């Protein structure tokens, strides 16, 4: 624990997406465990939707609610990416930029030692610098994804041809000095290319990221060297203006699995899983941000049906989504798969489900936090990425042979029920898929090693403490 007189006050300011909020909260809890004080800053509705803090940490973590300014085209009560369709997200970024003044006021009156922030607030570094507050950019994107996006110094990019069209993103960048297949498919590259162009928020996502890189005192990454050693080394070279430090994979503590026992939904789910053969069930969850088209959704459902495998599908409707078209299961799907599969439309205790021995594979959108939870328990992956860097994560895990991506059309990203069924059977059941099941189990020795992951937090907290000593000295 930290010496009480040396207790740090750390503000945390994640982007308005639960794929960001949750890892930030996890990191905040781990720093609080070391005896430091956390101010976790977000909007009122997002804070209300976060998981409860363990009682022993509650005195060390304060939630700071900053109301989101009203912005034209942003529906009322929309405070996170899960609340809006994809094309509305730039307006959410515009509203987020409107938090500049209230956040400045909080920093001025609270004087934290550090602010750990996300990629979005490009206006934050000069404010924090003026107030003498140290800045750490915490990236929920892993090292290989950050390397793919590019360096923060122009000398590296000037040495290579600039990426001026989507197809340039379908090959590994020239600054990667070792062999890799990590790159975007053409249909993904077209979408990613948009992040380099100015959007309705007034700036591009790339501008935000670059400004944040250049204004940070440290770059913290949700990864570990046992998984991404060569990528971390390269990331340090691409951003040699600041210390680049892994904070570990932030796997949720197994104590949280126990906490789910108190949850009444577990009784029904656990009872059903207990009746299934060991390693036979496919668990399906596409995350809170993913918005598949009706065609994708239909092919996925029919592929699941065609696979003949038992399944548990966590199909929670996007909470309070405004203006997004809801998708429907194919007619008769639930009746035809009754007994063999469960379609669960309420909140599902994902960690508890993945920990159950009857689960043999996880059909995932490849969000880095979801993947971490699955590999913590050695579950092989059936990968169906949709957003931002999830395609790069899928290629990374294919290189590690911890799972297989559902084959798709390069041009438009479409896939068939047959390809879903074949990939599911390969990863969960077929003899040829044993390598993926074995490798996923092997990766659990890293992803599930709490002591190893804890050493990364120790080193990160040491960096935070040292910075203050240097300032005071």
Could you please report the per-residue DSSP string of 64-77? Answer: EE-PPPP-TTSPTT
Cβ-based neighbours of 199, under 8 Å, separated by 6 or more: 90, 93, 205
Q: What is the DSSP letter of 451?
A: H
**Residue among 472, 443, 272, 458 at smallest CA distance from 371:** 443
User: Contact at 8 Å (CB) between 289 and 82?
Assistant: yes
Pairing of strands 244-246, 281-285: unpaired
Let me know if 275 is exposed, middle or buried by CB neighbors in 10 A (0-12, 13-18, 19+): exposed
Q: How far apart are CA 141 and CA 124, in angstroms?
A: 20
Pick the catalytic residue: 83, 97, 113, 118?
118
Q: How far apart are CA 157 and CA 151, in angstroms?
A: 7
User: Contact at 8 Å (CB) between 360 and 433?
Assistant: no
What is the torsional sign of CA 339, 325, 421, 402?
negative
Q: How far apart are CA 314 and CA 318, in angstroms?
A: 12
User: Contact at 8 Å (CB) between 349 and 258?
Assistant: no
Dihedral in degrees, nearest 10, Cα atoms 409, 415, 418, 421: 120
> Which letter, b or e, does each residue of 137-160 get, where b requires 16 or more Cβ atoms within 10 Å of its Cβ?
bbbbbbbbbbbbbbbbeeebbeee
20 has catalytic annotation: yes
118 has catalytic annotation: yes
Q: How far apart are CA 156 and CA 343, in angstroms?
A: 49
User: Contact at 8 Å (CB) between 359 and 281?
Assistant: yes
Q: How far apart are CA 133 and CA 153, in angstroms?
A: 24
Consecutive H or E run containing 143 = helix 143-149
Consecutive H or E run containing 282 = strand 281-285
Q: Which sequence positions are flagged as catalytic?
A: 20, 118
């Amino acid at each position: 624990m930290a010496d009480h007189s040396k207790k740090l006050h750390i503000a945390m300011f994640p982007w308005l997406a639960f794929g960001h909020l949750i890892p930030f909260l996890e990191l905040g809890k781990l720093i609080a465990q070391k005896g430091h004080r956390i101010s976790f800053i977000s909007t009122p509705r997002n804070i209300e939707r976060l998981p409860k803090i363990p009682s022993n940490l509650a005195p060390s973590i304060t939630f700071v609610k900053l109301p989101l300014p009203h912005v034209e085209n942003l529906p009322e009560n929309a405070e996170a990416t899960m609340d809006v369709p994809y094309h509305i997200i730039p307006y959410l970024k515009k509203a987020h930029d409107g938090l500049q003044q209230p956040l400045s006021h909080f920093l001025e009156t609270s004087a934290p030692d550090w602010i750990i922030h996300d990629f979005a607030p490009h206006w934050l570094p000069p404010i924090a610098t003026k107030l003498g507050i140290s800045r750490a950019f915490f990236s929920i994107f892993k090292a290989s994804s950050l390397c793919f996006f590019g360096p923060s110094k122009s000398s590296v990019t000037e040495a290579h041809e600039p990426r001026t069209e989507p197809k340039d993103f379908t090959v590994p960048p020239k600054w990667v000095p070792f062999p890799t297949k990590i790159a975007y498919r053409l249909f993904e590259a077209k979408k990613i290319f948009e992040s380099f162009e100015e959007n309705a928020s007034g700036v591009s996502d790339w501008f935000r990221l670059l400004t944040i890189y250049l204004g940070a005192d440290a770059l913290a990454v949700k990864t570990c060297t046992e998984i991404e050693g060569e990528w971390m080394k390269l990331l340090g070279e691409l951003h040699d203006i600041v210390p680049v430090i892994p904070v570990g994979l932030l796997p949720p503590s197994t104590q949280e699995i126990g906490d789910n026992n108190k949850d009444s939904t577990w009784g029904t789910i656990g009872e059903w899983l207990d009746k299934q053969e060991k390693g036979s069930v496919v668990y399906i969850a596409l995350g809170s941000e993913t918005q598949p088209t009706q065609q994708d959704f239909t092919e996925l459902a029919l592929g699941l049906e065609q696979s003949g495998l038992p399944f548990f599908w966590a199909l929670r409707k996007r909470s309070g989504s405004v203006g997004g078209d809801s998708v429907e299961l194919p007619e008769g799907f639930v009746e035809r798969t009754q007994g063999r599969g469960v379609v669960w439309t309420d909140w599902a205790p994902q960690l508890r489900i993945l920990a159950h021995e009857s689960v043999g594979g996880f059909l995932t959108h490849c969000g880095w936090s979801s993947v971490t939870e699955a590999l913590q328990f050695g579950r092989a992956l059936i990968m169906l990425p949709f957003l931002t860097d999830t395609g790069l994560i899928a290629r990374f895990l294919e290189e590690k042979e911890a799972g297989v991506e559902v084959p798709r059309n390069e041009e438009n990203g479409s896939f068939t029920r047959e390809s879903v069924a074949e990939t599911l059977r390969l990863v969960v059941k077929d003899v040829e898929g044993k390598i993926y099941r074995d490798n996923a189990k092997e990766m659990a020795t890293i992803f599930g090693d709490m002591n190893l992951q804890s050493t990364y937090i120790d080193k990160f907290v040491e960096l935070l403490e040292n910075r203050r000593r240097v300032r005071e000295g």
